[in-house]
Amino acid sequence: MAPVTPQEYVEEVLALVERIPPGRVMSYGALADALAERSGRNSARQVGTIMARHGGGVPWHRVVTSSGRMPPGHEREARQRLLSEGVPLRGDRVDMARAQWLPTAGEPA
DNA sequence: GGGGTGACCCAGT
DNA sequence: TACTGGGCCACCC
């Protein structure tokens, strides 16, 4: 598959993050996995780096680790936003089993 | 060109 | 549940 440029990959990541509905979340790994088909890349770590550097303009708080942990340095901010959106929390972590959202394959663009 | 770093993930202990 | 080790891959010295 035609690989996308690094810049395009960033755009893809941010675009998908913006599609995450309120009250739901996606893990870095799930994001990387969902974009793998499109971008040819699949690295959760890279998604984390992208969010750290370019996540300012999107609902970054809807992106957490696969275990429901929030990004270092922003735990308080993220927790409060998630809580106000109705995301199910278990202590200081997201209840992934209930909150994780995945883009549906045949979804209209 | 070489090596360290990181908003990760998974399996094992 | 918490911690550790190995794998991962782009970015930055």
pLDDT of A5 reads: 81
Can you tell me the distance from the alpha carbon of A97 to that of A101, in angstroms, rounded to the nearest whole number?
10
For chain B, which bases have at least one atom within 7 A of a protein Cβ?
6-10
Q: What confidence tier does A109 reach under pLDDT thresholds 50, 70, 90? A: low
CA A37 from chain centre, in angstroms, equals 16
Residues A59-79, mean pLDDT to the nearest whole number: 95
Å separating the CA of residue A41 from the C1' of nucleotide C7: 15
pLDDT of A6 reads: 81
Does residue A106 surpass a pLDDT of 60? no
* Domain range for A46: 6-99
Angle at A73 between CA A67 and CA A79, to 5 degrees: 55
The pTM of this model reads 0.90
Q: Is A60 inside any structural domain?
A: yes
Q: Is A21 inside any structural domain?
A: yes
Q: Is A35 inside any structural domain?
A: yes
Residue pair A51/A16 in contact (Cβ under 8 Å)? The answer is no
Q: Is A105 inside any structural domain?
A: no
Å separating the CA of residue A67 from the C1' of nucleotide C3: 15
Question: Strand B closer than 7 Å to the CB of A27?
Answer: yes
Say how many residues make up chain A: 109
Q: Is A34 inside any structural domain?
A: yes
Question: Strand C closer than 7 Å to the CB of A45?
Answer: yes
- Name the phi and psi angles at A64, rounded to 5: -130, 175
Q: Coil, strand or helix: which one is A77? A: helix
For chain C, which bases have at least one atom within 7 A of a protein Cβ?
7-11
pLDDT of A42 reads: 74
CATH assignment at residue A47: 1.10.10.10
Q: How many distinct structural domains can be found in chain A?
A: 1
